[in-house]
Amino acid sequence: MTDAPPSTLLADQSAYAEAVQLALDAAAAYYGDGTSSLDDDAYDHLVRGIQAYEAEHPDEVLPTSPTGKVAGGAVVGDVPHMVPMLSLDNVFSAEKLVEWAASLERRLGRPVTAWSVEPKLDGLAIAARYRSGRLVQLVTRGDGTKGEDVSHAIGTIVGLPARLAEPVTVELRGEVMMTTSQFEDACAKRQAHDGTTFANPRSAAAGALRAQDRPYVCELTFFSYSALLHSDDASEQAASLRGLPHSEVMAWVAAQGAQTPAVTDVGGIVATTLERIQERVEEIAAKRADLAFGIDGIVIKCDLAADQAQAGFGSRAPRWAIAYKLPATEKITKLLDVEWNVGRSGIIAPRAVLEPVVLDGSTVTYATLHNVADITRRGLMLGDSVVVYKAGDVIPRVEAPVVHLRTGDEKPIPIPQVCPLCGDEIDASQERWRCVRGRACRAIASIGYAAGRDQLDIEGLAESRIQQMLDAGLIADFADLFYLTREQVLGLERMGATSTDNLLAAIERAKAQPLSRVFCALGVRGTGRSMSRRIAKHFGSMDAIRTADAQAIEAVEGLGPKKAPGVVAELVELAPLIDKLVAAGVTMTEPGWTPPPAPGSDTSAGDDAEPGGTPGLPLAGMSVVVTGSMSGALEALTRNQMNELIERAGGKSSSSVSKKTSLLVAGENAGSKRAKAETLGVRIVGPEEFADLVGDLI
């Protein structure tokens, strides 16, 4: 974890006053209808800049400043809260967390012996009021002292029951948000209604919670983080709950039927040391990308009621709790342009050119746009403010335009009418448009890919040499490489006898590559190196692959009903190329392949067989991830060759660490994957130990 991100620098009183007004407008918009000109990270930077200026110029502090106020001073609604509904102060690093904890313990005059550690859910705070166990009112946080009545949303929120298990009078406080699936459903409904989509789940939830006149209803989700018993409730149940630790109160809330983070992979724990708190912070952060809902940090609070009571409250936040903020995973930036690139199979792929923005530690200038249909669905325009996020924390993607920030200067995105590379016609019969020339449009890229180290591994076949051969009419696709004569290659410029013989020898060796590499060299859309290995392992021969229908292709792990028909169709298209490869003597079988058992046959294989793997092999039934730089006997292997080795040893190669991972092979500079494996308790071995494990299979 890093220290606090930078704040916005304010040069003078005028800049300070403008910043205060911008923060007020942003808070009012967000807490009003769920829209805002600033994303969370930008708002945090702005407020920290305001705080820094006020610290240096205490005589110039404006009464409207958002500092020290709940919800940035955005006053919404007129329903009083029975107890102020406050915000939380933030820290951004382990060091700052230690400082905060030390300060709290000095205030208490004793160590804190129990800390509650929970995810900080990225939603809207609400108070759900129950009378005699029945849900009667929903109120937003508002300015912390009073909020807006949104009881019209009762019945649309998952995790917030109409009745509790017991007839108690209580207020459950928590976050209302949209899960990934709820957000997708909400966007589909809005798209059908007015042709636009929501910017992100948080703004969608804010709008849906307050909306009363929409012709469609969006489902929401509630997670409780506290409970307040009514002061007049003198029941035995109420008496037994007062003074309980926070963790026990939350267990009671869950027993009443309300949803708490305990039902998720990042549920709350009680920690007794700061070291365990930091471990839990890392555990939750590692799971963040896989969650079905958004979190933006971790909340650490005193678990004991006595500690909370003694520490008390500040004007905007409790002194006994802190939010450990995580780096932002989405930002708002400008869509400046759209580039249209042509892939090696002729696919025409749009790419967004963005105003540079720092996202999760790296500067993002380009982002993926899937296809023309996707651009149309999202209603994107040049000049739009757009939400950008990292899919799987890796690939930058454009989520949606922030429609309310449009100025009227935005322009439609020009859609190509002909292939942007060769000028030929476009096949627009499918969502992913393609040049009608297919692979021939970018033959040099297609042939270069096929000859690459992880495919046919034809050493010495540089891009410039491929271009020479194309220009001379010697080849039109990579199958033609196997028909080249010595005289033809010698006739090329700067090709001597030695280099010619070396190249032809490399081409001849390529004939012996296994089916998995040959299939990968074809570059079938929707498949790559890992999928090519699975297909080859499943079918065993090219003949079996070519005769398989879509239903048979679906049986390959990772190829579902959406991809399978496309694979079948492309194999028909590639038939002439495959026929040339067969005629040239290229290997069309997978070494060591054995057919799967017939349906209903006895599949038992003895005591040493492992589920999902080949009996007797060292990695049978194991899911293995490789990260970092290999050494020793593995030093010369590419990542693809490592994956092939894993599968020869009976295992399944994977690119990401999860609960299903059996083994992580961690070389030098292993990084975040090693940290995640340690968090999940996955077995970790070094390159030398792994080499010993697979033995003679290397």
Q: Which residues are catalytic?
A: 120
Enter the tokens of residue 459: 């050493």
Enter the tokens of residue 186: 């909400």
Pair 112, 307: CB distance under 8 Å: yes
C-alpha span between 519 and 528 (Å, rounded):
9
Would strands 146-147 and 170-177 be described as parallel, antiparallel, or unpaired?
Answer: unpaired
C-alpha span between 276 and 264 (Å, rounded):
19
How many Cβ atoms are within 10 Å of 328's Cβ, its own excluded? 20
Residues 6+ apart with CB under 8 A from 150: 126, 138, 139, 140, 209, 210
Residues 6+ apart with CB under 8 A from 578: 522, 542, 546, 571
How many Cβ atoms are within 10 Å of 397's Cβ, its own excluded? 18
Picking from 353, 483, 499, 496, the residue whose alpha carbon sits closest to that of residue 414 is 353
**Residue 176 identity (one-letter amino acid):** V
Buried b (16+ CB within 10 A) or exposed e, 665-676: bbbeebeebbeb
Number of H helices, E strands in the chain: 23, 25
Angle at 72 between CA 70 and CA 78, to 5 degrees: 60
Picking from 636, 634, 615, the residue whose alpha carbon sits closest to that of residue 694 is 634
Q: Where are the beta strands (DSSP E) in 143-278?
A: 146-147, 157-158, 170-177, 220-229, 269-271
| End-to-end CA separation in angstroms for the chain | 38
From the centroid of its chain, how far is CA 574? Answer: 34
Q: How far, in Å, are 63, 167, 500 from residue 256 at the CA level? A: 43, 10, 79
